[in-house]
Structure 1
Amino acid sequence: MFKRSSEYNQSDEPDSLQSESGRRTGSALHRVIYFFPFQLILVHIKHNFLLLFLWFLLFSFLFGWMGTKYGMGYLFLYPEYLGEVNFWSFSILGFSIGGFISAFNIYSYIKNGPDFPFIATLERPFHKYSINNFLIPGIYIVSLIVMSVQFQSVNELVDTSDILLNIGGLVFGMLFFLGISVLYFFRVNKNVYKLTGKTDSDFQPDQSSKASEEEPSPRAKKWFERMQKRQSKRSGWRVETYLGKSFRLKLARDCRHYDNELLKKVFLQNHLNASIFEITLFISFLMLGIFREVSAFIIPAGASVILLCTMILMLLSAFRSWFRGWTIPILFVLFLIFNVISGQFNLSNYKNYAYGLDYSKEPVKYELGSPQQHNSSFENITNDEEHGRKILENWKLSTGQEKPYLIVLNSSGGGLRSALWTFSILSHLDSITNNAFYKHVHLATGASGGMIGSAYYRELQLLRENGKLTSDSIRKLGTNVCKDLLNPVALSIATNDFFIRLRNCTDGKYIYKKDRGFTFEHQLNINTSFALDKRLSDYRIPEQTGKIPILVFSPTIANDSRRLIISAQPMSYMCAPFKSDSYQGTIEDVEYLRLLKDHDPLNLKFTSAIRMNATFPYILPQVSLPTHPEITVMDAGIRDNVGTKSSIKFIDAFSDWIAANTKGVIVVQIRDTKMHFERIGSANTNFAERLTSPLKTFYGNFTKVHDYNNDQLLKHFISNAGFPIKVITFELEQEGHEKASLSFHLTELEKQQIKKEIYSSTNQKESRILLKLLNE
């Protein structure tokens, strides 16, 4: 089983070399326990927490321990590239995994190599180290392949031939990158023999001199053996066996007779070569980010996640090769210094901009009391209400009815899941009412993905009104709203936003930095054939004439949790207290048009308004506005995930007109989850569950608390309104199968499941109620 040779052959690695008699006759158990791959696992557990943490993240995404709600696992099991899942999408994912495995091997070799000095005596030390460092990557690769095959066959119903082709692409990509790294290190890395030009016999102790020496006493022998063991523990981990060429099991050589300084020189030479390789790759990955707007360079999101992990490892291993044991303290000190300097000189404040706004003028003051000054003068409210009544009159004329129902549309947040669900419901309701439904919609509001679907549907309806589209073509174009947005955003995060933002974009006379916010809007325009590539001002006249509903965005101001009311129409009445309230209280809403009236607010790109309303933390950057102090805005769902509050404010402002001119109000709520459900936890909880229960309760019930509060607010408002208010709710129930991901990426199966939910018994019942009301 173990072939031995006492001489080193430069053309081939020795199967085994002379070692002390105790190790030659060592038990099979010792050879298993002190097997090099097993010892490396122990080293990782003891010393390489960061490495294990990154692997833990990748395993967690794969097995659904983390990110299941957001569909993280699908990014690895079924990667999409250029809108398709095929050999090339899997190849790119495999290529990125190969890069991460190489970075993992390089980092651990730099950090742990000196603990195993025997590898410096082997031919191609880094290559042998990588072979023996295969356990964790091997388990991950096998798990990924097995789970991907199962997912493709069961969930996506992919043909066996295509599954084999996809998995072949995955393996091809991994081997391609690993092959590049192997070729590089084969050429540049040296071992102790290549470095000195000597052979193994030159390093053997002089036996004749040993024989002439006086034989030590038994007590001295024992003392020497104990000291040898202690020295061995200090200088390195014990290894009996390892995997050599062609994965053959071999005995580790005894390297105690080698000069320690020479062994260190071997590792230093290997480390420098590894650093050069890593820096070259790191720069190459950053260069990839420069071309992230070119479709061919937009890699699958799963590959971008792995790419980010790879770049982190490469930076750390490069630092490790330079600073060795001082790496962590030095990085910590550098972080503290940068943190202090960045706060004083604003170095780390990468602003994200709302494209179209003028940031060159003096920022508007935003401080305690200023929202009231900008919003709610009696004159502003009176003028805006009069303006709103004129729009209502035009809307009423467009319905062709003397007293129509006024429909207010609410769409919940929830990524592309909500976007597709909202679009599908609107299209379905128009189809069963012969386009009468959308003519009755006067106001549309909501959060995040729901407003993406609502905004796109409204734009297509405007094109239909102008004779550029038919109803059938609108339904077919619905697939555009759920096309992937995550791949380009993830690539931007991995290669640009966390490092240096070099490129600018121009919008008219204004110049902004490019980041994932720009990438998101650009991809949204591509997906929708640039139908939404407009300004806020472009919708002012169509809304005023009643051609299309008024769209109201309400992103959350991160600084004080107020809501920023964004609309093409002046809406100071949305920021005033309810008419029935004698208690004025604080102002929770800020009107966008008046707050930024000197900063070209109507020139705002419509996609920027959509993005501000859908800024999911970290995935999209918070948008900075030209105020002092600077305020940033993020997802509307933080305050109101459905749009109930905005709807009530609007209805309250025009309650007199509605009572006199309509049959009442129909509030159509389109939710991407079920609202009415009970979830009772298990009585038998373990310690960890009890420990994390407060956090789970707080964050897990965040949207539920909003639902309960807004539902009570709506019930109270309905009971006091002087006209009928009906609530029709369409819910994405998804019973009997896994829920669609809360993400900017959907699989084909998820898209089909969402569309089918329209025909659930509950949603069909709501459709019939709505149809009956409109036919009254």
Structure 2
Amino acid sequence: MYLETTMKHRLKAIFYSFAVQLVLLHFKKFQILLIFWLALFGAVSGNFMASFGVDSLYLSPEYLGTVNALSAGIVGVSVAIFIMSWNITTFILFCRHFRFLATTTRPFLKYCINNAIIPVIFLGYYFFHAVNFDLHKELLSLSDVLALTGGFLTGFAVIVFLSFGYFFGADITIARNMISLDTSPLALHKGVRPHIVLNSGGSRLIKVTTYLSGRLRVKAVRDVTHYSKEFLESIFSRHHFAAVLSIFIAFVFLMLVGFLLDYEMFQLPAAASITIFFAILVSVAGAFSYFLQSWSVPFVVVLIVLLNILYRYGVIDPTNKAYGLNYGKQIQKAAYSAEHLAALNTPEKMAADSAAMIEVLENWKKRQAVEKPRLFIINVSGGGTRSATFTMGVLQKLDSLCNQQLMRKTFLITGASGGMLGAAYFRALSRERDLGQPVRLQDQRYFDDISKDLLNPTFSSFVARDLAAPAQKFKVGAYEYVKDRAYSFEQQLNKNTRYLLDKELSALQEEEKQALIPTMIFNSVITRDGRKMLISTHPLSFLMKPAGDAGLQLDGDPDAVDFAALLQKQDPMNLRLLTALRMNATFPYVLPNVWLPTEPVIDVMDAGLRDNYGIETAVRFIHVFRHWIRENTSGVTLLQIKDRKGGGWEHPFESKAISEIVTKPLLLLQLNWHKMQQYNQQDQLGMISDLLPGAFNRISFQYLPEKEEMKAALNFHLTQREKIDIRHALDNQVNADSFQDFNKACFNAGN
């Protein structure tokens, strides 16, 4: 009986302790602040924005291209800033609910100690996942993992100690103010009714009997009823200015980072930038709640309406541009209308453009060793860096199998997203070799180049530039643009690919025309109506709608648009190759949609939205030039490089919870989109096979992970284990058979 009573008292004491009551208070009031904690927990566990690779940004942070104690330390600093921001904000919001702290020395320190349950749980959760991730996915040694842990804790501790040192000054001021008072409150002895704080409505909010002191000792709260409410609030308000000042300093720091982001040392790990931004958002949300009280929601609604008005009338312009195009107001915008699109693909124009392309085909044929060569077309799939890396690996091996002649034998390369990044880099390397540069295309370093991180600089720029300092500009030729995360993405891609892609389309025009390099057609999707935007150095009106009987098609209703023809007055050949690649790979949210100078304004995004495999463009091209192909080649070999297994059996869409009965109709299309594309494209390939009987074949290469659960993520960041898995996938039995088929096609079919 005694033990039962004692246990009940202890449990009651724990429940009414300041630490536990604070946790309950967070769930009772201002729950919006917990959303940021939920995002951090989800990011670390991989449940929040998993497809964007956010977990790797936190668990294996990169700084200056390496993962080390310094990079982990910077993330530790950012997490400490977030925790201190959360402590400061909630301290200001909740101080009226625990006025007994005003009678203690260093009340903010005691608040942070008692408010540490959620931060401590998060830190434990973080280290658990970080150690597991670094050991098993980044394949780091135990000593390296310990170094990362030590770096994180060092950075974390530095900020915590600096913060407390900063606030101790305010605490000393509080103590001095209290000396002038007759401070003789009775201690709250055992059995005396604890002080119960009431909110403005008179309801009981929290009940506190004990708290943890600065030395982590349990102490009873003091009765503060003999102090005036105004005096206690004036004491707490002394912290408010210091708190707001500290958050302002954090925001200014983030702005400075944004302005200095071109200097490599200021390119902080993306996780650090995101977390510091969260810290600022916490303080902003707290400020709204503190100053506006019940007017917070109406104020936000009015603010959104005002921003929409300013955007509508062009006062603010957060849109991203295609670097190289002329957006000047003195140039008439291109009309995006049914009539104008119809004028771009008249029979006369299509005939002229087809004749120009046949000239390029003839130039390609002259460079082949036989009278009727095999025409190779390369299709690459979307899939972020995993697709770019797998594409590079496949092309390296194909090139070695055909005596370094792959790019000479290939006429067309097309596809989506990441695959085009790898293909463009390989084409550039091949051209460098042809020009006499010491390039060995099978070198491992080129595989490593394209697999390097693109996510960190993009996310860092999103926080530091797009949100904090969107005022810097740069030039492409005579045209000026705002630096944002798209610019950072292009700059990092440029660096990763040894600056070989740093050129405008005009620089490639003559080489493609003479067939010195394969023609590349970059695709993107117009969000306004789903039409495909085709970017090339060649006129492409013949690809704007399906070939065949015009009577079966709607007049003036093409389903694709020739970029250069549409924007002929906007200097289309000045477009950066890097920008064309980015437009082709505009991963939703990671990269901004690209807005074009048309009337009405249109924007484009990732090619994978309509054709993730590049089949549609290739099939249409073959259909248009089928007569020339029959007369001048031994046939077409379509080399398809995919970042996923075909057949539609992987990742079936299953209902495992009752809630999915509601969400399944909404997610059905999204989760099966790529599979539906595959089914449709099988029909297209079948029709091409009938058009070229016995003269068409497809050789498919697929990234098949060794273990499905270890498959490389669909984003712009790869772990070490994922890079190794992609390398191993080149040698699996499926791809080994495909390489053998290619070998036969290369040497036994007229080449």
Superposition TM-score, scaled by structure 2 size: 0.93
The aligned counterpart of 2:21 is 39
The aligned counterpart of 1:355 is 323
1 CA distance for matches of 2:583 and 2:682? 25
Q: Give the one of 30, 44, 48 matched to 2:12.
A: 30
Question: Residue 684 and residue 444 in structure 1: after superposition, are their counterparts in 2 closer, same or farther (change >3 A)?
Answer: closer
Identity %: 34
Q: Which amino acid aligns with 1:693?
A: K
Map 1:9-88; keep pairs closer than 5 Å. Answer: 27-88=9-70
Query: 2:146 matched to 1:175?
Result: no
Question: Residue 196 and residue 230 in structure 1: after superposition, are their counterparts in 2 closer, same or farther (change >3 A)?
Answer: closer
Question: Residue 580 and residue 367 in structure 1: after superposition, are their counterparts in 2 closer, same or farther (change >3 A)?
Answer: closer
Question: Residue 472 and residue 351 in structure 1: after superposition, are their counterparts in 2 closer, same or farther (change >3 A)?
Answer: closer
2 CA distance for matches of 1:309 and 1:171? 20
2 CA distance for matches of 1:722 and 1:53? 60
The aligned counterpart of 2:270 is 301
Q: Which amino acid aligns with 1:614?
A: A
Q: Give the one of 399, 405, 424 matched to 2:368.
A: 399
Return 5+ residue gaps in structure 2 as ranges. Answer: 1-6
The aligned counterpart of 2:711 is 739
Map 1:423-502; keep pairs closer than 5 Å. Answer: 423-472=392-441, 475-502=444-471
2 CA distance for matches of 1:470 and 1:562? 39
Q: Which amino acid aligns with 1:743?
A: N
Q: Which moved more, 1:731-740 or 1:168-177?
A: 731-740
Deviation at 1:722, TM superposition (A): 4.8
State the structure with more CA Rg. Answer: 1
Question: Residue 188 and residue 319 in structure 1: after superposition, are their counterparts in 2 closer, same or farther (change >3 A)?
Answer: farther
Q: Which amino acid aligns with 1:538?
A: A
Deviation at 1:494, TM superposition (A): 0.8
Question: Residue 350 and residue 157 in structure 1: after superposition, are their counterparts in 2 closer, same or farther (change >3 A)?
Answer: closer
User: 1:44-90 CA distances to partner (integer Å, 9 max, x unpaired)?
Assistant: 11213222111111111212223333322121111111111111111
Deviation at 1:229, TM superposition (A): 8.7
Map 1:91-170; keep pairs closer than 5 Å. Answer: 91-170=73-152
The aligned counterpart of 1:754 is 726
Q: How many residues align?
A: 733
Deviation at 1:475, TM superposition (A): 4.9
Question: Is contact 1:553–1:613 with CA below 8 Å preserved after alignment?
Answer: yes
2 CA distance for matches of 1:245 and 1:311? 27
- 3-state DSSP class of the match of 1:245? coil
1 CA distance for matches of 2:255 and 2:608? 33
Q: Which moved more, 1:583-592 or 1:339-348?
A: 339-348
Q: Which moved more, 1:87-96 or 1:118-127?
A: 118-127
- 3-state DSSP class of the match of 2:338? coil
- 3-state DSSP class of the match of 1:647? helix
Deviation at 1:194, TM superposition (A): 3.1
User: 1:654-680 CA distances to partner (integer Å, 9 max, x unpaired)?
Assistant: 100101111111111111111214258
Q: Which amino acid aligns with 1:764?
A: A
Deviation at 1:416, TM superposition (A): 0.9
Query: 2:510 matched to 1:516?
Result: no
Deviation at 1:150, TM superposition (A): 2.0
User: 1:176-213 CA distances to partner (integer Å, 9 max, x unpaired)?
Assistant: 122221111111246754334335635569xxxxxxxx
Q: Give the one of 675, 682, 693 matched to 1:711.
A: 682
The CA RMSD over aligned residues, in Å, is: 2.5
Deviation at 1:97, TM superposition (A): 0.7
1 CA distance for matches of 2:566 and 2:470? 29
Question: Is contact 1:122–1:191 with CA below 8 Å preserved after alignment?
Answer: no
1 CA distance for matches of 2:478 and 2:170? 52
1 CA distance for matches of 2:91 and 2:529? 49
Question: Residue 128 and residue 649 in structure 1: after superposition, are their counterparts in 2 closer, same or farther (change >3 A)?
Answer: same
Q: Which amino acid aligns with 1:83?
A: G
Map 1:472-621; keep pairs closer than 5 Å. Answer: 472=441, 475-580=444-549, 582-585=551-554, 586-621=557-592
Q: Which moved more, 1:553-562 or 1:181-190?
A: 181-190
The aligned counterpart of 2:337 is 367
1 CA distance for matches of 2:652 and 2:572? 48
Question: Is contact 1:365–1:629 with CA below 8 Å preserved after alignment?
Answer: yes
2 CA distance for matches of 1:405 and 1:177? 65
Question: Residue 229 and residue 51 in structure 1: after superposition, are their counterparts in 2 closer, same or farther (change >3 A)?
Answer: closer
2 CA distance for matches of 1:226 and 1:525? 65
Question: Is contact 1:116–1:236 with CA below 8 Å preserved after alignment?
Answer: no
Question: Residue 300 and residue 512 in structure 1: after superposition, are their counterparts in 2 closer, same or farther (change >3 A)?
Answer: same
The aligned counterpart of 1:215 is none
Map 1:626-645; keep pairs closer than 5 Å. Answer: 626-645=597-616
2 CA distance for matches of 1:248 and 1:87? 34
Return 5+ residue gaps in structure 1 as ranges. Answer: 1-24, 206-223
2 CA distance for matches of 1:107 and 1:760? 55
Question: Is contact 1:659–1:722 with CA below 8 Å preserved after alignment?
Answer: no
The aligned counterpart of 1:12 is none
Q: Which moved more, 1:138-147 or 1:441-450?
A: 138-147
The aligned counterpart of 2:347 is 378
The aligned counterpart of 2:219 is 250
Q: Which amino acid aligns with 1:314?
A: S
